[in-house]
Amino acid sequence: MKILFDVYVAEALLGDAAEEMIAATERASWRIYASTYLLDELERVLVEGLGFSPRLASLSRRRVFRRANMVDPGTSRHGVSEDIKDTPILRAALDAGVDYLVTNDHHLLALNPCEGLKIVSMAEYLSLLQSEGLIAPGS
């Protein structure tokens, strides 16, 4: 299974439940994908949106980089007309051929499914992990 986490789950990635989901994904040997655009957005959201230090943002970027397979999407006819800033995220997911794009962004969620790509919320992804027996129900 191949997964791409959208940066807009960065807030959730700071919590225990999200860390458990990432760990379960890795234990299952599912591959996690990211792009330079996502890493740039991660740093920006952590510093500007959440008020964390640039040092913590840089460390977080490196942590994601070490855990993820990087994809550099090319041009594509696919786009998110409602929010053009989401287009590189969709293209990265499609170019990587991931099974799931995990996001809480409503513009991306509205596109589900897209070219065989399942676009799911964090809650839906947690349910998937639970149904696969990778996280105990109620976690």
pLDDT tens-digit map of 45-100: 889 988 989 999 999 899 889 989 999 887 666 666 676 787 899 999 999 999 99
Three-class SS of residue 39?
helix
> Tens digits of per-residue pLDDT, 87-136?
899 999 999 999 999 998 899 999 999 999 999 998 899 999 999 999 98
Q: Which residue has the tokens 């070219």?
A: 115
The two structure tokens encoding residue 55: 């040092």
**DSSP, res 5:** E
Distance CA 96, CA 83 (A): 21
pTM: 0.88
Q: Which helix (H) or strand (E) holds 66?
A: helix 54-67
Distance CA 116, CA 94 (A): 9
Domain 2-131 in CATH 3.30.200.20? The answer is no
Contact 13/22 with Cβ under 8 angstroms? Answer: yes
